[in-house]
Amino acid sequence: MDSMAKLNFWLENDYFDQDTKNELISIKNDEKEVEDRFYKSLEFGTGGLRGIIGAGTNRINIYTVRVASQGLANYIKSLGKQGKGIVIAYDSRFMSPEFSLEAAKVFCANGIKAYLFDELRPTPQLSFAVRYLKASAGIVVTASHNPKQYNGYKVYGEDGGQLSLDGSNAVIAEINKISDITKVNIMDKEAAVEKGLLEIIGSKVDDAYIAMLKTLQVNKEAVAQVADTFKIVYTPLHGAGNKPVRRILSENGFKNVLVVKEQELPDSQFSTVKSPNPEERSAFELAIKLASDNNVDLIIGTDPDSDRVGVVVRKNDGEYAVLTGNQTGCLLLEYILTAMNEAGKLPKNGFAVKTIVTTELSREIAKYYDVELVEVLTGFKFIGEQIMLRDEKGNQKYLFGFEESYGYLAGTDVRDKDAVVASMLIAEMAAYYKVKGMSLYDALIKLFEKYGYFIEGINSFTLEGKDGLMKIKSAMSTMRTAGYTGFGSLKVKAIRDYQNSKRFVVADGSTEKITLPESDVLYFEMEDGSWFCVRPSGTEPKIKIYYGVSDKTLELSQQRLENLKNSVLEVIKPLL
C-alpha cells in the first residue's frame, strides 16, 4: 500500500477519531508531507519509539502507541510474565498523559495489570518502580530533551533497565506480526479499574525512592557545615524533576534552593527555552540571571523527564561556566572514589562504567584508584546491563557510571541515568569543596592539573525525512569502506568498526575482534592520542561526530581539538 492509499485508509475507517482525520485532510494535498507521514511505520528501536507527534504511521499518536503496547503485551505473555504487571510513567510533554493511559488500556485488555502514576514522574523513578513493585516491565512516555514537537515511549525490562537488544528485537517481531492497526485489544478505563487491572500509584513509591536516594549520600557532614549559607539555583525546565529534586535537596539539609519560577511548572510548549536541553547554555539563561542576582555559586538543571542534569558553576572572575557532561561525570567519579578511598571503603572488586564516546579522563581517574573501567556502547541501557551482569549476577561492585550526554548513575536500585540522584550528589560535592574554600570550577581545574587537560567536542548534523535517512546511511557506508589513513596532517592509528566487530590497525593491517554488540559506529584512534567517533543517532534524524584530545595545558588542548575537528569535517562534511 503506498502512502496515499494508507492515508485514505485512515480517512475512511471508523476506528480513527475525527481530530485525526481533520489533521490528515489538512495535509492531503501536500505530497511530500503525506509521504513522510506514511512511507513507513514509526520504528520501534532498541529503546522504544520516538517521533514527531501527529497523525500517520510514521508519527507518534494514540494508534501507534497502541500498536507498540500490543506488541509489548504479546512479548510479556510469551514469557509467561503477564501476572507481574507493568509500570507506566510519563513526563510533561504534549499528549504524555493520554499516550500513557492508552498504553495502560491495551495492557489491561491483555490481562496485564497496569500500575499508572497519578502525575508526571522522572524516568529514573519508573526504573526504580519496576524493581520496587516487582513488575515484568515498565514504560515511560517521554522524548527526553528533544524539541516540543516530539514524544516517545521507552521500554524497560523487569531488571529496571532499558529493554535488552534481544528483548527489543522480540518486541519488534511481535509488532511486525500486527498487520491491521485497527485490531489492537483495548479496555475501557473504568472497567479496568473495576476489575483490578488498572492501579493508580503515587506517594508510596515516591517515599521509597527518596529513602533509597538518601542511602547514597557520600558526605553528610559537608552539607551540614555550609547549609545555612550555601545557595543553589535549580530549574526543572518545565519537567518532572521539580518535586523530587527539591525534596531530596531539602531532606538532605540544603536550606537555600532558589527555583527558577518561570520554569517551575510543567509546560508542554517549553515556552521559556528554545530547547529543554541542559546540554545547551541557552536553557540556563533565566537560571544564570537568578544566580547572578543572588550571588549563587551553583546552578543545577534537569531535562523534562529528569534523567539528564546540567551544571553551571561560577568562576573566580564571576562569570558562569556550563560544565560539559564529561566534566561533571569526572568530578563525580573523582569525588565518589576519593571519599570511598579515604573512608577505607573502596572495594578491590569495584568497577565504573563509561560509554565509548565518553572522555578518556575517566580512564585516568579509574586507573589512579585501581578501579576497573568498563567501556560500553553509547546508550545508558548498556551501563544498566553491566550492573546486572557484574554486580547483581557477578562478583563485582558497581561504583558509578556516566555518559558524555549528561547522564549519571550512582547506586543499583535504578538502572538508568538518574538526574535526581545526580543533583543530590552534585549539590553535596559542591558543599564539600565549599568547606575546602573551593568552587566546583576550582575542583575541575585541580582535576585537569592532576590527570591532564582532557577536552571533548561534538558536531551534530540533522538530516530530516526519508532523504536524510538515506544520506546518513550512504555516508556511513562510504566511511566504512574508504580505508582512511589520515585526516589532514593527523595520522590514523586504528579504526574500530563496531558494526563488523573489528579493530583494524593501519600500520600492519592486522585486525582484532571487538566483543561489544554490533552497532553502526566508527571510531578512529589517532597516532597523537586523540580520537573521534562517528555514529547515527538511534532516536533522532542526526549523525554525530564526537572528538577527544588531551595536552599539557587547556590552551594546547583547545588548539588540538580545533585542528582535529577541522581536519575531520573537511573529509566527512561533503558526504552529508
> Distance (Å, rounded) from C-alpha 104 to C-alpha 116?
7
Task: Please identify which of the residues 3, 144, 306, 362 carries the catalytic annotation.
Answer: 144
Give, in degrees to the nearest 5, the angle at Cα 282 between 147 and 311: 100
> Distance (Å, rounded) from C-alpha 572 to C-alpha 576?
7
What per-residue string of b and e applies to 488-513 under the rule 16 or more CB within 10 Å gives b?
Answer: eebebbbbbbbeebebeebeeeeeee
Strands (E), 226-275: 231-235, 256-259
Q: In what order do the strands lie in the sheet with 114-117?
A: 48-52, 150-156, 137-141, 86-90, 114-117, 198-201
Give, in degrees to the nearest 5, the angle at Cα 20 between 17 and 21: 85
Q: Is residue 100 among the annotated active site residues? A: no
Neighbours of 524 (CB within 10 A): 24
CA distances from 484 to 339, 412, 505, 506, 568 (A): 44, 41, 11, 9, 11
Q: Terminal CA-to-CA distance of the chain, rounded, Å?
A: 31
**Residue pair 480/524 in contact by the 8 Å Cβ criterion:** no
Count the alpha carbons within 13 Å of 205 in the hemisphere toward its beta carbon: 27
> Distance (Å, rounded) from C-alpha 546 to C-alpha 555?
19
Residue/partner pairs of 347-351 with CB below 8 Å, 24 or more apart: 347/397, 347/399, 349/395, 349/396, 349/397, 350/396, 350/397, 350/398, 350/399, 351/386, 351/390, 351/396, 351/397, 351/398, 351/399
Tell me the H-state helices in 403-541: 419-435, 440-451, 465-481
Q: Are strands 397-403 and 407-409 parallel, antiparallel or unpaired?
A: antiparallel
Beta bridge partners of 373: 352
**Residue pair 520/543 in contact by the 8 Å Cβ criterion:** no
Give, in degrees to the nearest 5, the angle at Cα 496 between 460 and 166: 80
- Give the three cell numbers for residue 340: 570511598
Which residues carry out catalysis?
Answer: 144
